Amino acid sequence: MRIILLGPPGSGKGTQAQLLVQRYGIVQLSTGEMLRAAVAAGTPVGLKAKEIMAGGGLVPDDVVVGIISDRIDQPDAKNGFILDGFPRTVPQAEALDELLKHKHLKLDAVIELRVNESALLSRVETRVAQMRERGEEVRVDDTPEVLTKRLASYRNQTEPLIHYYSERRKLSTIDGMMAIDEVTRAIHRQLLALGAIEPKSHARSAAKAAPAKTGTKKAKPAKKTAKKPAKAAKKAAKSVKTAKKAAKKTVKGAKKTPKKTAKKGVKKAAKKAVKKGSKKGPKKVTKKRAKR
């Protein structure tokens, strides 16, 4: 699956690209991140790009196309990729078509995130103010002044791509002012409608997520088995206590038996003697009277 995300700066292309990467297991090819990495590394291309980006301009096409061509050839991009921030112009789109044709690859969909420019400017102003209050460093290309220039460049150079891809029946427009999760669901529906995603593969991804639930359920017996040793220990402690009590009783009983048993023995013997005497007496008397 190969997708292009279109939209003005701050429209949420980077956020949606990351969510698509997590959901479909494809690679995000962000020219902005690749160029910023070159700037951080201090390479000649990075230094040149730094001056251009600081002024709100665009990096030359030959540099960007060369970076993308090398990135597509890497193994992790075989399953698909998302182009974020490229193409920006019709000549770049034509160069990308030639590049993909040369590599025998097909572009599946172009998603446009349409937003309100005035709302974007207010968002950037708020974000920059909050970063400065926290003492964080603000990127030179992430200020309201630079954004104003970039929005003007987008209108003049990138908006023609909407017509370019619309003629090729690749374009799908989505309201980028919706909540993030709503935008994500809308993109998914469009990809299904365009055939960029197979329903079977989507069902497989849902099935793969299912074992995670069953795994959590299977983990419950482990808790029960973990509780069993504790219960066994309590039972053992109770049995020890009962054994101690029984031992104490036997000891007390052993101490008391010499005195008590002697007294009880005398009393029992006396009672037996009385009973025997009372039983024998009447019988002997009746026998003697009968003889007489």
Q: What is the pLDDT of residue 223?
A: 45
The reply to whether 8 falls in a domain is: yes
Q: Is 127 a catalytic residue?
A: yes
Q: Which residue has the tokens 């200020």?
A: 143
The reply to whether 269 falls in a domain is: no
Closest CA to 128 of 115, 140, 138: 138
Determine what percent of the chain is predicted with pLDDT higher than 90: 23
Total of domains in the chain: 1
Q: What is the pLDDT of residues 140-170, one digit of tens each?
A: 777 788 888 888 888 888 889 999 999 988 9
Q: Which of 80-84, 212-216, 250-254 has the highest mean pLDDT?
A: 80-84
Q: At what angle do helices 31-41 and 61-72 cross, to 10 degrees?
A: 100
The reply to whether 268 falls in a domain is: no
Q: Is 289 a catalytic residue?
A: no
Separation of alpha carbons 264 and 256, rounded Å:
12
Token pair recorded at residue 181: 């999760």
CATH number of residue 77's parent domain: 3.40.50.300
Separation of alpha carbons 102 and 80, rounded Å:
16
Q: Which of 78, 106, 139, 280 is flagged as catalytic?
A: 139
Q: What is the mean pLDDT of the chain?
A: 74
Q: What is the pLDDT of residue 268?
A: 60
The reply to whether 213 falls in a domain is: no
Q: Is 36 a catalytic residue?
A: no
The reply to whether 228 falls in a domain is: no
The reply to whether 241 falls in a domain is: no
* pLDDT, mean of residues 34-44: 77
Residues ≥6 apart with Cβ < 8 Å to 3: 20, 26, 80, 81, 82, 83, 107, 108, 109, 110, 111, 191, 196
Q: Is 155 a catalytic residue?
A: no
Q: Which of 23, 36, 48, 127 is flagged as catalytic?
A: 127
The reply to whether 265 falls in a domain is: no
pTM: 0.57
Residue 63: domain span:
2-197
Q: Is the model more confident about 46 or about 132?
A: 132
> 195-220: b or e for each residue (b if 16 or more CB lie within 10 Å)?
ebbeeeeeeeeeeeeeeeeeeeeeee
The reply to whether 37 falls in a domain is: yes
- The DSSP letter of residue 136 is P
Confidence category of residue 224, pLDDT binned at 50, 70, 90 = very low
Q: What is the pLDDT of residue 182?
A: 95
Q: Is 245 a catalytic residue?
A: no
Q: Would you say 110 and 43 are in contact if contact means Cβ atoms under 8 Å apart?
A: no
